Amino acid sequence: MITIIGSGKVGGAAALFTALRKVADEILLLDVVQGLPQGEAMDLNHMLSEKGVDVGIRGSNDYSEMKGSDIVVVVAGSGRKPGMTRMDLLKINASIVKGIVENIRKFAKDSMIIPVTNPLDPMAYLTYKVSGFESNRVFGMGNMLDLSRFVQFIHESTGYSRQSIRALVIGEHGENMLPLPRYSTVGGIPLTSILSADKIEGIVQGTRQVAAKVIQLKGATVHAPGNAIATIVEAVIRDTKQVIPVATYIDGEYGYSNVSIGVPAVIGKNGVEKVIELDLNSTEKEWFKKGIESVKDGISNLEV
């Protein structure tokens, strides 16, 4: 069973995309708002019935119903408003996430947890510390979402098929994220051989800024994060060993410790099965360091 805590737009989208991938027989939507998860489950089941997808979705306001969950996705919390940074949400969401994780520890102690609530990296750290779970069982959805945006900008700039593009984004899920053109290819050809340095810089900056633009235009990001969550869930359930950038606790990797941040990792049935350490150049190291410092600053304001 997959449990998704938070039944707003992103939680609903995560349930939809996960169900369409048919990776679980049952998806539980949990929320403190009476009626919301039940109504969302009904709506999704109606759509799945027409599609002939035999995945059951149910809604509940009772945390105890998550017993037996293989994965718990934590989406609940306040979302970004136009003009806000992800870090502006730190104190608002920390208490919400802490209470949720305490319930996960109580009712789903054998699960894996995928934090999604912003600011993602500090919330991943908070989740890891409060849960007491092994680090491989807590990995946040952040850079997987950034990656989808990076791929779209590459597609727009090259005109080549999205299927041909392989890209990577690591670091903070925020203004200091690190898109990696050197580790990105189109049909196996390095991106740096296809586009000029100026074009690539424009793509990188666009990737860092586009979430705020989407929020300004429509109020929230929904479909891309919902799909990113489903991609990670599928990698665990199907044991694909897919390399996905996730926010997880690092202890010496990349030269840093006691922090959760986005790194490429092999994702399979055991969660984070291996953190892949890339050979970063000086500029990339500086951006990664900026992200580390930002996340550590956020963590310093948490009561863990």
Q: Choose, from 46, 155, 173, 223, the residue flagged as catalytic.
A: 173
Q: Tell me, what CATH number does 49's domain have?
A: 3.40.50.720
Residue 53's pLDDT is 97
Q: Which tokens belong to 63? A: 């945390």
Q: At residue 276, what is the residue type?
A: I
Ordered strands of the 189-190 beta sheet: 165-166, 185-186, 189-190
**Over the chain, what is the mean pLDDT?**
96
- The answer to whether 180 touches 170, Cβ cutoff 8 Å, is yes
Instruction: Indicate which CATH number applies to the domain containing 226.
Output: 3.90.110.10
The predicted-structure confidence for 106-161, as pLDDT tens digits, reads as follows 999 999 999 999 999 999 999 999 999 999 999 999 999 999 999 999 999 999 99
One domain for residues 122 and 102: yes
Number of domains in the chain: 2
266 shares its domain with 292:
yes
Among 118, 137, 156, residue at a domain's last position: 137
Q: pLDDT tens digits for 270-304?
A: 999 999 999 999 999 999 999 999 999 999 988 77
Same domain, 291 and 254: yes
| Same domain, residue pair 148 and 164 | yes
Residue 121: alpha-carbon gap to chain centroid: 10
Q: Are residues 123 and 242 in the same domain?
A: no
pLDDT (0 to 100) of residue 79: 73
Q: Are residues 295 and 148 in the same domain?
A: yes
Task: Please say which residue of 95, 118, 137 terminates a domain.
Answer: 137
Distance CA 271, CA 62 (A): 26
Phi, psi of 260 (to 5 degrees): -110, 130
pLDDT of residue 205: 96
Q: Where are the alpha helices (DSSP H) in the chain?
A: 9-20, 36-51, 90-107, 120-131, 143-158, 191-194, 197-218, 223-237, 282-300
Residue 64 belongs to domain spanning: 2-137
Catalytic (active site) residue 223: no
For 38-74, give the DSSP string. HHHHHHHHHHHHHHT---EEEEES-GGGGTT-SEEEE
The average pLDDT across 215-236 equals 96
Structure confidence at residue 82 as a pLDDT band (50, 70, 90)? confident
Looking at the fold, whether 71 and 204 belong to one and the same domain comes out as no
Last residue of some domain: 137, 171, 206?
A: 137
Asked whether the predicted pLDDT for residue 207 surpasses 70, the reply is yes
User: What confidence tier does 10 reach under pLDDT thresholds 50, 70, 90?
Assistant: very high
Quick check: 144 and 246 in contact, CB under 8 A?
yes
Residue 84 pLDDT > 90: no
User: Does 89 lie in the same domain as 42?
Assistant: yes
Residues 241 and 260 in one domain: yes
Are the C-beta atoms of 203 and 153 separated by less than 8 Å? yes
- Work out the pLDDT band at 86, boundaries 50, 70, 90: low
Residue 116's pLDDT is what?
Answer: 97
CA distance 72 to 102: 12
Examine the domain organization and report whether 62 and 148 are in the same domain. Answer: no
The whole-angstrom separation of Cα 101 and Cα 108 is: 10
My answer on whether 185 and 275 are in the same domain is yes
State the pLDDT at residue 129: 97
**Looking at the structure, do residues 110 and 205 belong to the same domain, yes or no?**
no
Structural Rg of the chain based on CA atoms: 18
Rounded to whole angstroms, the Cα distance separating 170 from 149 reads 13
Closest listed residue to residue 211, CA positions, set 118, 91, 122: 118
Interatomic CA distance for residues 229 and 11, integer angstroms: 9
